[in-house]
Amino acid sequence: MRTIGEASKHSGVTIETIRYYEREGIVPKADRHANGRRLYDEAAIARLRFIRRCRDLGFSIGDIRALLDLSSTTTQSCWEVRSLSERHLADVRARIADLQEIEAALVNLVQACDDQGDDCPALKVLFAK
């Protein structure tokens, strides 16, 4: 059994965030030592690591709750995991497309700037009717 500091190091989740996850019921309440400090076993740390990896992949906390539910049932319905992941993938792709449109518009904007000093063409574009 490890302290919250060790759990943090082994999972990559900060101490404050671990406590936040517990408060929000995203992970179950940690066991406590007689002195009141939280204790984590390997399964608890694996859960934190799982959450961090999912967050790194951009999954929302809501999605992660669902994935943790799926992972705790005996039949880990792979189909549901896949469908959730595919929905998220579509979302990520949509965000990329949005950002690429923004990128193109910014390139235009920057090109409009002629560095000539006053009366910036880029500002004119943004202020136009």
Partner DNA sequence: TTGCATGCTGTAGCGGCTACAGGATCAAGG
Partner DNA sequence: CCTTGATCCTGTAGCCGCTACAGCATGCAA
What span, in angstroms and rounded, lies between the C-alpha atoms of 20 and 28? 11
Q: Which of 77, 70, 58, 62 is nearest to 26 (CA)?
A: 62
Q: Which of 57, 33, 29, 56 is nearest to 44 (CA)?
A: 29
Which of 46, 61, 65, 66 forms a contact with its own copies (CB under 8 A)? 46
What span, in angstroms and rounded, lies between the C-alpha atoms of 92 and 64? 16
Which of 29, 34, 62, 119 forms a contact with its own copies (CB under 8 A)? 119
Shortest Å, Cβ 100 to DNA: 20
Q: Using CB under 7 A as the criterion, what x/- string covers residues 57-76 for binding DNA?
A: ---xxx--------------
Q: Where is 32: in which H helix or E strand?
A: strand 31-32
Which of 55, 70, 120, 122 forms a contact with DNA (CB under 7 A)? 55
Contacts (CB under 7 A) with DNA, residues 77-106: none
Residue 40, Cβ density class (10 Å: 0-12 exposed, 13-18 middle, ≥19 buried): buried
Write out the residues near its own copies by the rule CB under 8 A.
Answer: 46, 49-50, 53-54, 56-58, 67, 70-71, 74-79, 81-82, 85-86, 88-89, 92-93, 95-96, 99-100, 102-103, 105-107, 109-110, 113-123, 126-127, 129
